Chain A
């Protein structure tokens, strides 16, 4: 079955960077866009952007431009999200989520499945 497994929890100091991984299985990794969504404690869902695992092309939410980098390693079917210059309000659970739309058919699909989430805590 289609599954996304993310890396473990991280604790970082303000100003540092964090890189979260998302390993895909059960489908052709390069065939579907991968999105990243975060959720601060007790808050709602916030979309960060997507990566086209086939081309490596990205589309970041305006808020995160210049601050987030999404990459992938097709040899191990893994997507990465790196956030730099961390602040305390970046403390959140970060999710990867696959869209239903095959690459090249559009970028406005729904998200299914989701990874289990990675808690990133930013604290001095």
Chain B
């Protein structure tokens, strides 16, 4: 059971918009720790997608955006493309300064 809760799966048709939620508590996200998002394509290592709640590393398309409010965060993907099919993980910290990951969300592009 992950400390950060994500939906196991989401899906959408090409061109659509999907969102992935990441729900924490007052001990982690709600304590002010930033949320970061990673994309993991099949058989590869995770790759940083969003850092500091809403910032994109260079090279990440602006179709990907992140936000944080209270004890939750969300990742939005607009203009869905086939290559976006992957697992997505949120990550934050808790009051013991231990890193915490969400359980992961599998995105299926229909």
Contacts and interface: CB of A to CB of B under 8 A. Distances in A.
Given A59-B97, A108-B33, A110-B91, A44 B102 contact: yes
Interface string B16-40: 0000000000000000011010100
A59 B2 CA distance: 20
Nearest to B105: A44
Interface in B11-63: 33-34, 36, 38, 45-48, 51-52, 57
A61 B101 CA distance: 13
A61 B51 CA distance: 22
Nearest to B96: A62
Interface range, A side: 20 to 34
B2 A44 contact: yes
A37 B104 CA distance: 14
Interface of A: 35, 37, 44-47, 59, 61-62, 95, 97, 100, 107-108, 110-117
